[in-house]
């Protein structure tokens, strides 16, 4: 039996190519679910991912040298927006997505008092995954591709 340890670390602009590859592979399933492959995680360009890596906090999950997942946190005042949670298709269901959320929540930019994210309204497993981690649906919206999303959030305890 081979037990592999997943390590989590912040990513930088040099990781853009691998992040884009894992993100696109992961989100094809969402595209299929919605019959829409123009959703933002699938149309984002290499240049945009590189820009995001320079301006937001992104955390990667590594199995050895291989990037197997990533997550993004964008600071907007005292709000932190979580997005692009992606796990390579062959690595899903092993706890890496849960590990990415935990790693991101432990390594937030300073001054964030509330976390928010959007999830596809039909993506029941994702919504339940966030609910188990304390996120609650507070609103609904459409993404730029016209896919119906739920907005979820949770307040963070004041820093002690
Ligand atoms: C969503 C995603 C990041 C989860 O990553 P993962 O590594 O497969 O998830 P984990 O193994 O850590 O499981 C997390 C939780 O979801 C549950 N889960 C995972 N896959 C599931 C499935 N197909 N059906 C139901 N529950 C599932 C697990 O049981 C676990 O439950 P817990 O809340 O009790 O811990 C991954 O499936 C993915 O990349 N999906 C495509 C992109 C996407 O939809 N991103 C999120 C957009 S909002």
**pLDDT higher than 80, residue 106:** yes
**pLDDT higher than 90, residue 2:** no
Mutational pocket test of ligand 1: of 92, 121, 122, 148, the residue with most ligand atoms within 8 Å of the beta carbon = 92
If DSSP codes are grouped into helix, strand and coil, which group holds residue 51?
Answer: helix
Cβ(155)–Cβ(113) below 8 Å: yes
Closest CA to 6 of 144, 120, 135, 99: 99
Given this model, what pLDDT does residue 18 score?
98
Give the residue, by CA position, lying nearest to ligand 1 atom 32: 129
Kindly indicate the confidence band of residue 1, based on its pLDDT and cuts at 50, 70 and 90.
Answer: confident
Mean pLDDT of the chain: 96
CA of 22 to the centre of ligand 1 (A): 15
**Tens-place pLDDT, residues 28-87:** 999 999 999 999 999 999 999 999 999 999 999 999 999 999 999 999 999 999 999 999
The vertex-22 CA angle with 20 and 26, nearest 5°, equals: 115
CA of 116 to the centre of ligand 1 (A): 17
Q: When comparing pLDDT for 1 and 141, which is higher?
A: 141
If DSSP codes are grouped into helix, strand and coil, which group holds residue 90?
Answer: helix
**pLDDT higher than 80, residue 159:** no
Q: pTM of the predicted model, to two decimals? A: 0.96
Ligand 1 contact via 125 beta carbon (within 6 Å): yes
**pLDDT higher than 90, residue 158:** no
Q: What are phi and psi of 133, to 5 degrees?
A: -105, 15
Gap between the terminal Cα atoms of the chain: 43
Given this model, what pLDDT does residue 160 score?
58
Q: What average pLDDT does the segment 114-138 reach?
A: 98
Q: Which helix (H) or strand (E) holds 79?
A: strand 79-87
Given this model, what pLDDT does residue 5 score?
95
- How much of the chain, in percent, has pLDDT values that exceed 90? 95
Ligand 1 contact via 134 beta carbon (within 6 Å): no
């Amino acid at each position: 039996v081979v037990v592999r340890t997943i390590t989590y670390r912040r990513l930088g602009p040099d990781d853009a190519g691998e992040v884009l590859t894992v993100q696109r592979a992961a989100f094809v399933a969402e595209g299929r679910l919605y019959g829409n492959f123009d959703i933002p995680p699938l149309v984002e360009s290499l240049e945009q991912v590189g820009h995001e890596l320079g301006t937001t906090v992104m955390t990667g999950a590594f199995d050895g040298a291989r990037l197997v997942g990533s997550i993004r946190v964008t600071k907007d005042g005292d709000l932190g927006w979580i997005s692009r949670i992606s796990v390579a298709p062959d690595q899903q269901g092993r706890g890496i997505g849960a590990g990415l959320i935990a790693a991101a929540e432990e390594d937030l930019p300073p001054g964030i008092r509330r976390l928010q994210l959007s999830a596809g309204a039909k993506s029941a497993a994702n919504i339940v995954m966030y609910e188990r981690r304390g996120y609650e649906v507070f609103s609904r919206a459409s993404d730029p591709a016209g896919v119906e999303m739920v907005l979820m959030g949770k307040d963070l305890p004041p820093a002690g």
